[in-house]
Structure 1
Amino acid sequence: MTNSYQPDFAIHPGEHLEEILDVSGMTQAELAVRLGIHKKTINEIIRGKASLTSDVALRLGKVFDYPVHLWNNLQRNYDETRARLAEEKRLVRHLDRRPDWLGQIPVKEMIDRGWIEYHEAPLAQLDAVLRFFGIASPDQWRTVWETHQVAYRQSRRFEPNAFALSAWLRRGEIEAQAIARNPFDRRLFQSVLDEARALTWEPPEVLQPGLTARCARAGVALVFVPELSGTGVFGCTRWLGGKAIIQLSLRYESNDRFWFTFFHEAGHILAHGRKAIFLEGGGLGGEKEEEANAFARDSLIPPVAYRRFLAEWDGCSLAPLETFAEEIGIASGIVVGRLQHDGLLPCDTGNERKVFYHWADGDSQ
């Protein structure tokens, strides 16, 4: 739907043809003879029972010296108006049948972030939501989004809001489609991951565009979309139209969590095919999730180097952490996070070495 005027009625080109016949004083039978078609065809067009075809438009152009495209435009406008009016009636029936559906979509958050426009009329707001999701009706939302085969690593006590989750995923798709990227190159992506380790030292204003550009070069769209209320999601990997997408929310704002999630998602891309969707929300495991965890863990801190460090570390001093981080080429906050995760460092110790990322004004869109 647009803000331009849209009539609530459709005018068949047969009405215009009837007016021209009245003005010219020509009968339907005479016109049929001049056009070389059956009188019944003319009558059905005038009564709106038959379409004015391009062939008839060409013949009318010769008889009345009217441009052919005007007749074709009249028929096209009639068809489009009828289709639009029928669609509006169909959506009204959806609103009547499922009045709660639109209310379950996080419309306000989506409007606040500029994902969709605000409309006072429920029908217009529904149309905006459907356009956002790229679907024709709420029924298609259920088919496309609710029944996605999702491997969601989430808490047993937390059930994500499917409506908010689908909006978050869709926003990621929209942003990914806007990224120009090469076809996926597995070997190049692996080299990008090696390069990414050096970016762990960089501030967000360097990290984000640098990592996004490197991933795009290897055929992976990296998008950053803040989570919506009720999702509890901090990362996602999926393939769309043969192209890989990594979507991150910065739910956990520390750099150790961010980089672990990024490499975790990269592990899914490299190891787990193109059919499943992997959504990360904390909690449950599973074989593929454990494999992605191991990939992230070992990519960030090589196992041999980590074991050597632990053998030499006194378990208390923080200075050796800095030295070790420099030796393996990653930010020291990542080492702190690993030691905390492994229970070798208290969760309240060493956090000053972490970098915390925050959404800047305007970035939350």
Structure 2
Amino acid sequence: MSQRHHYQPDYAVSPGELIQDQLDVLEISGRELARRCGRSTKLIAEIIAGKAPIEPETALQLERVLETSASIWLGMEANYRLHLARVKEQPALAEHHGWASTFPLKELSQRGLLGIKKDAAAQVQEVLRFFGCGSVDACQERFNELEAVAFRHSPSFESNRAALLSWLRIGDIRAEHIETQDYDRAKFLAALKEVRSLTVKPVEVFLPEIRKLCADAGVVFVVEKPLPKVALSGVSRWLSPRRALIQQTLRHLSNDHFWFTFFHECAHLLLHSRKSIFLDGKGMTNVDPELEAEANDWASNFLIPSDALTRFITRFAYEESQVTEFAAEHGIDPGIVVGQLQHRKVLDFGQMNRFRKRYVWGE
């Protein structure tokens, strides 16, 4: 989402001032204007003073008497009242500057998602615009709803909440610009079989392909660099009953981790409640251990069938050629095989790491 810039002057002319200017030119009084419009003298005096608004009926009467379009009167009136409302809310917004400052403003600004403002009230407005909320209370209510789902199984959550909420919001924003079909479980499973074949491709090839295949099945796929203090690998959640989101960070930047995380998040969408938000990172999760284990097993088995890997391990002589041959046989990248062997402690985490490709931001 690019920053939206609107010209917002810090002043507005009351339509009453223009009325008075025209009365001076015509050399008639406010009382006479009231008589010609068929309105009370008090009402016209209050309109001229900016105390009473110009209603559509009055605008039509002023149009006939002063020969200025009713739409001009109503436009001036709307701009003036909007200006007054902006001025009125500034002190209340400024009081929430400390709240706004808890979010990673600098990083969000560098990503073009909001602006850094010197004025306290303006900065709060920028944060509200970023989150798509009209007030701090409404924004906090939305946060409370998310936290009730996202953090309910995580008493010692590793990520900073403000940073995590910001990162989740970026997912919403990115998703707004990605068109998808309605979610279709069978189509999604078929798409994942095609995605699996992409593990041997370079990142610049497979990322757009994943996005397209997932979108055609009703799932938005987003890769978004983590914000500071966001210790996550990925998240899966439902944006609506017919549209899901998988958002990954590339936090560990290795191909085995990337692909396992992707299929792990897919498993949550396929197997578990649509009312949950599944946050996943190294050594942490916000869901019940049984659900997490189920997603782990599904992802591992989808990447490499468990029985095939078990048979391979029984004859594995720690030769690199065995890894490459097994990977080719199953149409999978060798780095994923190494990652699975390390996870099962067949290999130490330092062994055969040359097969584990490292992804770099900007590729």
Q: TM-score, normalised by structure 2?
A: 0.89
SS, match of residue 357 in structure 1: coil
How far is 1:157 from its partner? 6.2
How far is 1:143 from its partner? 2.1
Q: Aligned residue for 1:249?
A: 249
Which of 283, 295, 298 is the aligned partner of 1:295?
A: 298
CA distance in 2, matches of 1:108, 1:319: 48
Which of 25, 28, 35 is the aligned partner of 2:27?
A: 25
CA distance in 2, matches of 1:286, 1:31: 77
- 231-240 or 139-148, which deviates more: 139-148
Q: Aligned residue for 1:142?
A: 140
1:164–1:231 Cα contact (<8 Å) kept: yes
SS, match of residue 329 in structure 1: coil
| Residue deviations 1:31-69 (CA, integer Å, cap 9, x gap) | 334323344432332233321012211121112211222
* Residues 194-205 of structure 1: pairs in structure 2 closer than 5 A: 194-205=193-204
* Residues 264-283 of structure 1: pairs in structure 2 closer than 5 A: 264-283=264-283
Q: Aligned residue for 1:185?
A: 184
Which of 334, 341, 344 is the aligned partner of 1:342?
A: 344
Which ranges in structure 1 are unaligned for 5 or more consecutive residues? none
SS, match of residue 45 in structure 2: helix
Q: Aligned residue for 2:131?
A: 133
How far is 1:258 from its partner? 0.5
Identity level (%): 40
1:255–1:354 Cα contact (<8 Å) kept: yes
2:233–2:249 Cα contact (<8 Å) kept: yes
How far is 1:253 from its partner? 1.2
Q: Aligned residue for 2:174?
A: 175
| Residue deviations 1:167-223 (CA, integer Å, cap 9, x gap) | 111112111111122222222111110001110000011011111111111111111
* Residues 1-365 of structure 1: pairs in structure 2 closer than 5 A: 4=7, 6-8=9-11, 10-95=12-97, 99=98, 101-148=99-146, 149-151=148-150, 159-242=158-241, 243-284=243-284, 286-311=289-314, 313-360=315-362
CA distance in 1, matches of 2:248, 2:302: 18
CA distance in 2, matches of 1:63, 1:127: 41
Letter in 1 for 2:295: A
CA distance in 2, matches of 1:4, 1:277: 38
CA distance in 1, matches of 2:8, 2:46: 29
| Residue deviations 1:305-334 (CA, integer Å, cap 9, x gap) | 2233234x2352332222221222111111
Letter in 2 for 1:143: E
CA distance in 2, matches of 1:220, 1:279: 17
Letter in 2 for 1:294: D
Letter in 2 for 1:126: V
1:155–1:282 Cα contact (<8 Å) kept: no
Q: TM-score, normalised by structure 1?
A: 0.88
Letter in 2 for 1:332: P
Which ranges in structure 2 are unaligned for 5 or more consecutive residues? none
| Residue deviations 1:199-250 (CA, integer Å, cap 9, x gap) | 0000011011111111111111111111112111110111224421110000
CA distance 1:353–1:2, shift in 2 (3 Å):
closer
Backbone CA RMSD of aligned residues: 2.5
SS, match of residue 252 in structure 1: coil
SS, match of residue 186 in structure 2: helix
| Residue deviations 1:14-45 (CA, integer Å, cap 9, x gap) | 23223323432334443334323344432332
Letter in 2 for 1:214: L
SS, match of residue 236 in structure 2: strand
How far is 1:4 from its partner? 4.0
Letter in 1 for 2:329: E
CA distance in 2, matches of 1:340, 1:153: 31
Letter in 2 for 1:235: G
| Residue deviations 1:224-283 (CA, integer Å, cap 9, x gap) | 111112111110111224421110000111111101110111111112232221111232
